[in-house]
């Protein structure tokens, strides 16, 4: 074995795109919707663009890597990524649009934009589409159309305009996705990230240590989505529906034991829930997660719980919470001028954690140098990083991604 591991193929299942500035004018007719976002070219910076709300206010400045295929390819080549799976930025999926035709049109514009990127570089990109989930007939028609334009699956949010994923409204869409062999990517958005209840809203306020993104997105929303899909019998009724949960599954893998024990202790509270235990659901149904845990021991836990055939490498490219180091190795600053909190940056890139975990025990000391921000001692003394074989690394870095996409 050689260290670090360098795979022949590396597929990144968790990357996002925004709409390109070319879609700005076609989306003009939808600006009366609250929460509507589109993208326009930056008037001063040719390398950037602006995400603009329905009032014409700039919500965020983004770099061209959010929509420009050539820039993405350069980043892929630098990190050794052979294929990126493109999915919409969650806030751009029109779950909040109350007109069926409008929701379908927005999804079509978004999906065609990503399909155009795949058509330019079919060996380097795959894409997931957006659906007008609140309107099942339109959503199923879009599912059928996605196949004709080469899109392999769909991304949906963890709740659909405050409706849980086990709502009967959505089951025909999931049923159609299974029948068509399309993959599903569940990404957290809304819900606990932006609660309406005043006291909870105060507790989850973005100014409180980025809680909506770190806790609401990172744990709560995905766990709730899994529980809806599991207890609501979606997974049990559609065991071949290939569903990947973002961010290592959020909190749900850590809660499997508690979910099982709760039903064991109080079966009277689960009369209408799936009779499959959480463990049986994970074992028998086509449930996947990505590697984006930011923690090698959490990745090891996922491998013990799900196995490498259910875990695919995901980076959250190009956003700052992903596996892409924002700090320059020389200046120790990020583009916003923030100073790196460590004496040296993490140096992470898509696939870093998998590639740099040790194989033989003799690689342990070398591996730890690539996890410089993690103490090599716990409360009970020295600890070792998880060890992975080359076969496990190959599966995590490319094999599972292809199986999930049905390739």
Strand partners, 382: 377
Q: At 87, list the tokens.
A: 């999915």
CB neighbourhood size of 58 (10 A) = 11
Strand partners, 37: 53
Residue 114 and residue 23 in contact, taking contact as beta carbons nearer than 8 Å: no
pLDDT attached to residue 23: 95
pLDDT attached to residue 368: 96
The residue assigned the tokens 């099982």 is 260
Give the model confidence (pLDDT) of 81-107 as tens digits. Answer: 999 999 999 999 999 999 999 999 999
pLDDT of residue 258 exceeding 90, the answer is yes
What is the rounded average pLDDT of the residues 324-335? 94
Indicate if the alpha-carbon torsion angle 219, 36, 24, 133 is positive or negative: positive
- Measure the N-to-C terminal CA separation of the chain; round to a whole number of Å: 28
Give the model confidence (pLDDT) of 337-363 as tens digits. Answer: 999 999 999 999 999 999 999 999 999
Contacts 24+ apart (CB under 8 A), 257-260: 259/227, 259/230
Helix ranges (H only) for 66-205 are 69-79, 100-120, 136-148, 171-180, 198-203
What is the rounded average pLDDT of the residues 59-71? 93
Distance of CA 321 to the CA centre of its chain: 11
Q: At 189, list the tokens.
A: 């958005």
Cβ contacts of 124 within 8 Å, gap of 6 or more: 73, 76, 82, 83, 84
Q: Rounded to 5 degrees, what are φ and ψ at 317?
A: -55, 140
Q: At 183, list the tokens.
A: 């993959």
Give the burial string for 123-161 (b: 16+ CB within 10 Å, else e).
ebbbbbbbbbbbbbebbbebbebbeebebbbbbbbbbbe
Tell me the CA distances in angstroms from 321 to 130, 248, 301, 349, one per residue in order.
22, 13, 21, 12
Give the model confidence (pLDDT) of 273-322 as tens digits. Answer: 999 999 999 999 999 999 999 999 999 999 999 999 999 999 999 998 99
Q: How far apart are the C-alpha atoms of 78 and 98, rounded to whole Å?
A: 42
Q: How far apart are the C-alpha atoms of 248 and 300, rounded to whole Å?
A: 11
DSSP reduced 3-state for 60: strand
Q: Which CATH number fits domain 11-19+67-405: 3.90.1570.10, 1.10.1040.50, 3.20.20.140, 1.10.10.10?
A: 3.20.20.140
Residues of the chain with pLDDT > 90, as a percent, come to: 93
What is the rounded average pLDDT of the residues 67-71? 96
Beta pairing class for 37-41 and 11-17? unpaired
pLDDT of residue 397 exceeding 70, the answer is yes
pLDDT, averaged across the chain: 95
Which of 400, 391, 393 shows the shortest CA–CA distance to 357? 393
Q: At 49, list the tokens.
A: 């663009």
Q: At 180, list the tokens.
A: 């068509």
Q: Rounded to 5 degrees, what are φ and ψ at 262?
A: -60, -45
- The full set of domain ranges for the chain reads 11-19+67-405
Tell me the CA distances in angstroms from 196 to 64, 199, 204, 216, 253, one per residue in order.
33, 9, 10, 13, 27
In angstroms, what is the C-alpha Rg of the chain? 21
How does residue 1 score in pLDDT terms, banded at 50, 70 and 90? Answer: low
pTM of structure: 0.97
pLDDT attached to residue 109: 97
pLDDT attached to residue 312: 98
């Amino acid at each position: 074995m050689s260290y670090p591991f360098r795979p022949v193929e590396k597929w990144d299942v968790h990357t996002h795109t925004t709409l390109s500035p070319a879609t700005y004018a076609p989306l003009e007719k939808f600006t009366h919707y609250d929460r509507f976002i589109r993208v326009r070219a930056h008037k001063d910076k040719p390398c950037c663009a602006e995400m603009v709300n329905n009032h014409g206010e700039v919500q965020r400045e983004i770099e061209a890597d959010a929509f420009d295929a050539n820039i993405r390819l350069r980043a892929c080549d630098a990190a050794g990524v052979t294929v990126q799976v493109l999915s919409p930025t969650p806030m751009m999926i029109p779950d909040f649009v109350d007109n069926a035709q409008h929701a379908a049109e927005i999804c079509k514009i978004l999906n065609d934009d990503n399909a155009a990127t795949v058509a330019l570089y079919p060996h380097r990109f795959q894409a997931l589409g957006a659906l007008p989930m609140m309107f099942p007939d339109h959503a199923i028609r879009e599912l059928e159309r996605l196949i004709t334009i080469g899109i392999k699956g769909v991304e949906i949010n963890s709740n659909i305009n405050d409706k849980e994923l086990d709502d009967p409204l959505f089951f025909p869409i999931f049923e159609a996705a299974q029948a068509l062999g399309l993959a599903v990517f569940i990404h957290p958005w809304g819900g606990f990230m932006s609660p309406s209840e005043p006291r909870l809203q105060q507790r989850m306020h973005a100014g409180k240590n980025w809680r909506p993104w770190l806790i609401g997105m990172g744990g709560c929303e995905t766990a709730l989505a899994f529980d809806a899909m599991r207890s609501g019998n979606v997974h049990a009724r559609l065991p071949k529906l290939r569903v990947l949960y973002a961010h290592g599954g959020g909190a749900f893998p850590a809660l499997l034991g508690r979910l099982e024990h709760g039903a064991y202790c109080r079966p009277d509270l689960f009369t209408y829930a799936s009779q499959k235990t959480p463990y049986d659901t994970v074992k028998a149904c086509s449930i996947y997660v990505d590697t984006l845990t930011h923690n090698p021991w959490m990745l090891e836990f996922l491998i013990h719980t799900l196995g490498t055939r259910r875990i695919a490498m995901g980076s959250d490219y190009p956003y700052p919470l992903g596996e892409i180091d924002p700090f320059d190795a020389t200046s120790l600053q990020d583009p916003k001028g923030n100073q790196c909190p460590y004496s040296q940056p993490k140096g992470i890139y898509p696939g870093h954690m998998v590639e740099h975990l040790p194989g033989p025990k003799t690689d342990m000391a070398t591996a730890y140098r690539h996890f410089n921000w993690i103490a090599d001692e716990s409360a009970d003394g020295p600890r070792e990083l998880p060890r992975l074989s080359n076969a496990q690394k190959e599966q995590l870095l490319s094999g599972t991604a292809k199986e999930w996409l049905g390739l």
